[in-house]
Each structure stands twice: as structure tokens, then as C-alpha cells.
């Protein structure tokens, strides 16, 4: 993961595995209500928008072997024990 701050906007680069894992987490998180977690609705809006942007670039979510790909990504990113 790398961050870049040019022209007063921020760009963050994720590996394919990082993007897939983050997308899966955001999807699961956004599916549930969290009434006491957010201080302002704008925080929730940012998470919905981030999920939407990731959906545009992570196409593997529509593959028949999605769970297998997700499992491999998690294994690759996970800390070694």
C-alpha cells in the first residue's frame, strides 16, 4: 500500500490482494447497521463510497472461484505466525 498526495487529493495504491480483502470487509461492514459507531453520517458515506470505487476495479468478485481467490489473498497478506 502506498499513498500519494498531489493536487490536494489523496491517492492510495493497493495490491490486488489488499483491494480484494478491503472490498470484502467493506461489503460485510456496510451490510450491517452501526448506530453507535459513527460520530457523523459523513464517515459512513466515505465507507460506502470507498466500497463503490473498489467495486469498479476489483472484477474477481464475479468469478465462480471468488471464495478461493479471496482465501488465497487473505493467506498472502496475513502475518506469519
| Spatial distance between the Cα atoms of 11 and 13, rounded to a whole number of angstroms | 7
- Taking 90 as the threshold, does the pLDDT of residue 3 lie above it? no
Looking at residue 28, what is its pLDDT? Answer: 95
pLDDT tens figures, 22-74:
999 999 999 998 889 999 999 999 999 999 999 999 999 889 999 999 999 99
Can you give the length of the chain in residues?
81
Highest mean pLDDT among 8-12, 13-17, 58-62: 13-17
Torsion (CA) 72, 74, 75, 81 in degrees, nearest 10:
-170
pLDDT for 8 equals 78
What 3-state DSSP class applies to 26?
helix
Distance, CA of 66 to CA of 71 (rounded, Å): 9
pLDDT value of residue 31: 92
Amino acid at each position: 500500500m502506498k499513498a500519494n498526495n498531489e493536487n490536494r487529493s489523496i491517492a492510495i495504491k493497493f495490491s490486488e490482494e489488499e483491494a480484494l480483502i478491503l472490498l470484502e470487509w467493506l461489503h460485510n461492514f456496510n451490510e450491517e447497521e452501526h448506530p453507535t459507531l459513527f460520530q457523523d453520517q459523513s464517515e459512513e458515506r466515505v465507507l460506502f463510497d470507498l466500497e463503490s470505487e473498489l467495486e469498479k476495479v476489483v472484477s474477481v468478485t464475479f468469478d465462480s472461484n471468488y471464495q478461493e481467490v479471496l482465501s488465497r489473498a487473505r493467506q498472502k497478506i496475513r502475518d506469519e505466525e
